[in-house]
Amino acid sequence: MSEGIGARLRGARERSRLTILQAAERLHVDPDILEALEADNFAALGAPVYVKGHLRHYAELVGEPVEPLFELYSQGARVPPPDLTRIPKAMPDDAGRLVAPAVLVVVIFAGAGAVWWGMSLSHRQWSAHPQPIPVQAIAPMQQGSVQQGPIASVAAAARPVAASSPPGPARGEIDATLTYSAPSWTEVYDAEGRRLLYGLSGGPATRRVAGVPPLDVMLGDARSVSLEVDGRQASISHFVRSDHTARFLITADGRVLAAPPKKGG
């Protein structure tokens, strides 16, 4: 009987002399994700695009071939049946009959309180003594002086305010825009190791990132993603693999190049 996905990953990790914690630290993920992969508990990882993304990274780290693992996953993937035990039950008739009188009592007390408060407030307003309103004298404006009164303030407030444009990339960074027509798992890191984008991006949607080049980009479904670099359209069709994923680099001069394979261990 052939080994499953989890057994292959666990054996490859042990051959690489890595613990679960060490592997999770190198992949920047929680150890629970790697434990779920080794236990073949793919339902705990969510949608298949999440599973395939984590599966690819883990396999590349421990030096296990990715394509056979994807084939095993495709053969074993099944849609779980709906959980009928979680269907909410209807409220018994007795409970409905008890709720209606309670709500009626609350409404009556609230109405009585509002009437009492209104009568009390009206009495206080009519019994209060009128207070004189002080009027500040306005000094005559000297010839040649600049008007600083209320009219000048209103005029100043009416002046149009220039709209601020969105901030562009900082000095030494490169700007990239990803446009999605369908959901795709996406990871983007810059040369300093900063995670600029990580997770499932739905479609249609647009995501903009800026970082120190080269930017390392991984797409779970590259067929549904188009790329612009510094406002110019860039083609990524040459980097799409047979499983529709893609990984490439965006250089400082805006070129898109093939990314070197990740080293396992």
pLDDT in tens, 219-254: 888 899 999 999 999 999 989 988 888 999 999 999
**Do the domain assignments include residue 149?**
no
Q: Would you say residue 124 has pLDDT above 90?
A: no
Q: Would you say residue 120 has pLDDT above 60?
A: no
| pLDDT given for residue 218 in this prediction | 83
**Contact criterion met (CB below 8 Å) for 203 and 244:** no
**Chain centroid offset of residue 121 CA:** 50
pLDDT bracket for residue 158 (50, 70, 90): very low
| pLDDT given for residue 62 in this prediction | 94
Comparing 48-62, 100-114, 169-183, 207-221, the range with the smallest average pLDDT is: 100-114
> Can you give the pTM of this predicted structure?
0.42
**Do the domain assignments include residue 139?**
no
Q: Would you say residue 111 has pLDDT above 60?
A: yes
**Do the domain assignments include residue 133?**
no
The whole-angstrom separation of Cα 13 and Cα 125 is 80
Task: Give the C-alpha distances (Å, rounded to integers) separating 25 from 22, 29, 265.
Answer: 5, 7, 12
Given 58, 76, 94, the domain boundary residue is 76
Nearest to 196 by CA among 208, 182, 184, 214: 208
**Do the domain assignments include residue 64?**
yes
Q: Would you say residue 155 has pLDDT above 50?
A: no
Q: Which residue reads 């009206």 in tokens?
A: 122
**Contact criterion met (CB below 8 Å) for 259 and 248:** yes
User: Based on the structure, what is the number of domains in the chain?
Assistant: 2
